[in-house]
Chain A
Amino acid sequence: MKELAFDAVVIGGGAAGMAAARELDAAGLSCAVVEREESLGGILLQCVHNGFGLIEFNEELSGPEFAERVEESLSGTKLAVFTGTTVMELDAHTETKSLFCYSARFGVLRLNARAVVLAMGCRERNRGNIRIPGDRPAGVYTAGLAQRLVNVEGYIPGKDTVIIGSGDIGLIMARRMSWVGCKVHAVVEILPYPSGLTRNVVQCLHDFNIPLYLSHLTTRIIGKERVEGVEITPIENGALVHEKAFTIACDTVLLSVGLVPENELSKSAGVEINPMTGGAQVDSMLMTTVPGLFACGNVLHVHDLVDYVVEEARRAGRNAALWLKGARPGSEVRVKAGPNVRYVAPGRVRIDADNKLYFRPLVVKNDALLEVRLDNRVIMSVKKNHIQPSEMQSIVLGPKELLAAQGMPDSVLEISLR
């Protein structure tokens, strides 16, 4: 078995992994990136639609373009990149962590490093996760799998499609399926509002006259060998109205019902998971509960913009470098999600420096008010024109706001919306 040593190893070569690795290299440390696919870029490579990079590059790019731009920023670095290589085991019990990896090219590899950045991204929830009753025919795909089949591999999964869930990938796929000559008969959403962005509802559904059934549940998938239809039941006052159920004939069902951070490796390494995000519990340096293990991007919490992923990953990379050189966070305050906030990441802020916090609203509202409380005292309030769960929000808090917590060991910072 080949054994190699680095200061740091980044697991995952998508937008997050590349951005984190670049910072580690820039800090003069030796760093490796391990990516299971044959090329760097991650999920961006199958997102051939437009709209990436407005914050990062000040232009609208497709996913592959964004990935290539980030990859180009790695030229001139001394990074060791292992593509086509899968991390099978992460042993973080000792100060030097070991990653046991497999690849067709390198065989079994053991990479040793004092710091590891987790950047494995997320995966889709599937039919089993949401338990749609009915038959079990062929033709049921997650939207992201269908996206890969159509955009990368060149297969069209079916002709007559119903999309379950109105997440952004589902909406984007409604347009893609229409553009490759399929008929999308409906998008079915259990909630009373769409899960995706308004601009995607308009450009991906309205443009093609695709009906969006809000407050409707898919109660049955029908079909012997192949999908033949889905049974849809409206929800009124929180209850299914079975008398009003109807069936839509189709041969394909795409599921866009949420994403889950891919944390199997992290859990096996002993990382504590935040049940609200499905990602690691991290401190103000984006370090997990296992010293020397950092997390960023969609494996930490599911982002809606890759620009935010890159920003967060840079911080994780920089912090991992600082940590390797002996820096520690110092005095921290615990962060709590208050009313109408689903979660806040990271879970701790430091008093002596600026902290960027990302948080996700639980409600749809115009003219909302963001309130930040330190030990129940309002220290900041910001007007928000519009909030909705599909749009992540951010705020920066620094020493000026947090100084009052100095010397208070049990201080709590609460982010709320009303």
Chain B
Amino acid sequence: MKTELTCITCPLGCSLSIEREADGSLTVSGNRCPRGIRYANEELLSPKRMVTATVRVLSGSGAGHDRLASELMHERLPVRTSAACPKELVPELLQELYKLTVNLPVRRGDALLSNWRGLGIDVLASRTLG
């Protein structure tokens, strides 16, 4: 079976044509450099993605009109994975993140999830808030 991919390692964007051999290995054509072969292998055998999302924030004690306008602006805390996550697990990770509520204050780099699913992936706050 032939698969078509666009290599995104560099801006050239080679159109790769990939054939799966009987022994499971991949034969790549259309690449202008060896990085195309590596990209095709990663993408077809174990695709991964960096995941960024936002999670719900519970602002400190001040409720209602005690809260500053600036606090009201930040109803969501931006987060990201510390490493790329297997592509097929991304929806699951997102669902888990959407269920989270974070108490302020939080510092950039704080881990909200550690070693998720034993994959060595942490989810980190990507902004200091509160």
What residues of chain A have their CB less than 8 Å away from a CB belonging to chain B?
A: 38-39, 45, 48-50, 60-65, 68, 84, 104, 150-154, 179, 197-199, 201-203, 206-207, 366, 385-386, 388, 391
Cα A60 to Cα B8 in complex, Å, equals 16
Given contacts A64-B127, A68-B127, A151-B54, contact A38 B6 (CB under 8 A): no
Contact A179 B49 (CB under 8 A): no
- In chain B, positions 42-68 with a C-beta closer than 8 Å to chain A are 49-50, 52-54, 56, 68
Does any Cβ of A come within 8 Å of B35's Cβ?
no
What residues of chain B have their CB less than 8 Å away from a CB belonging to chain A?
A: 6, 8, 10-13, 49-50, 52-54, 56, 68-70, 73-76, 78, 80, 87, 90, 94, 108, 126-128
Given contacts A50-B80, A203-B49, contact A62 B73 (CB under 8 A): no
**Lowest 3 CB-CB distances: which A-B pairs, in order?**
A38-B70, A64-B127, A48-B78
Contact B126 A198 (CB under 8 A): no
Contact B70 A60 (CB under 8 A): no
Contact A151 B70 (CB under 8 A): no
Cα A45 to Cα B50 in complex, Å, equals 18
Given contacts A68-B108, A202-B6, contact A48 B50 (CB under 8 A): no
Contacts of A60 in B (CB 8 A): 50
Cα A203 to Cα B73 in complex, Å, equals 29
Contact A198 B6 (CB under 8 A): yes
In the complex, which of the residues A68, A203, A388 contacts B8, with contact meaning CB atoms closer than 8 Å? A203
Cα A64 to Cα B73 in complex, Å, equals 14
Q: In the assembled complex, how far is the CB of residue B129 from the closest CB belonging to chain A, in whole angstroms?
A: 9
Given contacts A386-B12, A388-B11, contact A179 B76 (CB under 8 A): no
Contacts of A61 in B (CB 8 A): 126
Specify which of B11, B56, B69, B74 lies most central, judged by the most chain A CB atoms within 10 Å of its CB. B11
Given contacts A48-B53, A49-B52, A65-B108, contact A151 B76 (CB under 8 A): yes
In the complex, which of the residues A38, A197, A199 contacts B73, with contact meaning CB atoms closer than 8 Å? A38
Contact B52 A154 (CB under 8 A): no
Cα A61 to Cα B108 in complex, Å, equals 11
Contact B127 A65 (CB under 8 A): yes
Contacts of B108 in A (CB 8 A): 64-65, 68
Cα A150 to Cα B76 in complex, Å, equals 9
Cα A206 to Cα B3 in complex, Å, equals 13
Contacts of B8 in A (CB 8 A): 198-199, 202-203
Cα A63 to Cα B80 in complex, Å, equals 11
Contacts of B127 in A (CB 8 A): 45, 62, 64-65, 68
Contacts of A154 in B (CB 8 A): 54, 56, 75-76
In the complex, which of the residues B11, B13, B87, B126 contacts A62, with contact meaning CB atoms closer than 8 Å? B126
14 A-B pairs within 8 Å (CB atoms) are namely A39-B70, A45-B127, A50-B80, A65-B80, A68-B108, A68-B127, A84-B70, A150-B54, A153-B73, A198-B6, A202-B8, A203-B8, A207-B49, A386-B12
